[in-house]
Amino acid sequence: MSKDRSTVKILNDKKESREISKTILDFGVTEEQKIDIMINLALSLESNDNMKEIVSFLKKFTINFNTEEKENNINVEDKSTNTNKIILD
C-alpha cells in the first residue's frame, strides 16, 4: 500500500470490496464457483509473485480437468519410467 493514501480512502476501498463480494454472493454461487472467482481475480493481479502464490494455493481446492496442464507442472526426472496404461472394463 502506498504511504500517501489517506485512511479514509483505504476504508472506502475496503467497503467497496465488501460490497462487490456481497453482490457476487447474492448470485447464489457454489463453493467451487467462489474458488474459481478467487482464482480469476488473482490472475488479474499486477504482482506476478502474488498471483502465482495465490493461484497455487487455491488450485489445491479445485478439480483439474486439463490433464495436460497438470502433467506439465510435474517434474519427472526420468520419463522412461512412465508407462501408459490401458483400462479395460
Cβ atoms of residues 42 and 62 within 8 Å = no
pLDDT of 33-70, one tens digit each? 999 999 999 999 999 999 999 999 999 998 777 656 55
**According to the model, what pLDDT value does residue 74 have?**
45
**Which one, of 29, 27, 51, 48, lies nearest residue 39 by Cα?**
51
Cα distances from 83 to residues 69, 78, 79, in angstroms, run 19, 11, 9
Any idea where the domains of the chain sit in the sequence?
1-61
